[in-house]
Structure formats: C-alpha cells, structure tokens
Amino acid sequence: MSLEIVDSCVGCYACEPLCPNKAISAVMQPGEPLFFINPDKCTECLGDHDLPQCAEICPIEGAIVDEYGEALNPLGSLTGIPLHLLEQLRESECRQ
C-alpha cells in the first residue's frame, strides 16, 4: 500500500515535511517526477492522520495517485475550473 507522485508534480516541497514516515524525497534526475514516495515507507498515513498528508496539501490536481492509479485530487477538484476549460488550458500553457 503506497501512494505515488507522477510527473505533473511541480516540485513545490509542500508534501515533503508533512510525511509522518519520511517517505518523500526530492529526485534530481531529468525525466523523472520531481518527488518520490518510497513505497516501503508509505503507509498512506494510516494510524497517524485521517487523510494522507501529501495529498491533503498538494496543490496540483492528479499529481498524487493511489495503487490503482486513481488521483487523490482529481481534475477540477482543487481549483474548481470546469474540465472543458482545463483542456483548453493544456494547449496554451506557459512554456519555458
């Protein structure tokens, strides 16, 4: 049982200090998601908190998924932006 951070993570560090198991660390490898949850340490916060802390503070919809690949914060759940507008946004995102 472990959560996973996927590549939409923006690397904001908000989750890292909250993890009761110190399972979260920054990844410095290009091509990998910016943060990594060690599956051997992650308990999804069972016994420590009512809800997984990383997903509670994460500002990015879809960036944290469970073992079935389901997003804990699905699209539209954090910003309230309607889904069809989110689609349009993807095409015109600010590029570096």
> Which residue lies nearer to another protein by CB, 56 or 66?
56
Q: Which is nearer to another protein, 46 or 51 (CB)?
A: 51
Which residues make up the interface to another protein (CB under 8 A)? Answer: 10-14, 17-18, 49-51, 53, 56-57, 59-60, 78-81, 85-86, 88-89, 92-94, 96
* DSSP 3-state percent helix, strand, coil across the chain (nearest 5): 20, 10, 70
- Comparing CB distances to another protein, the nearer of 46 and 57 is 57
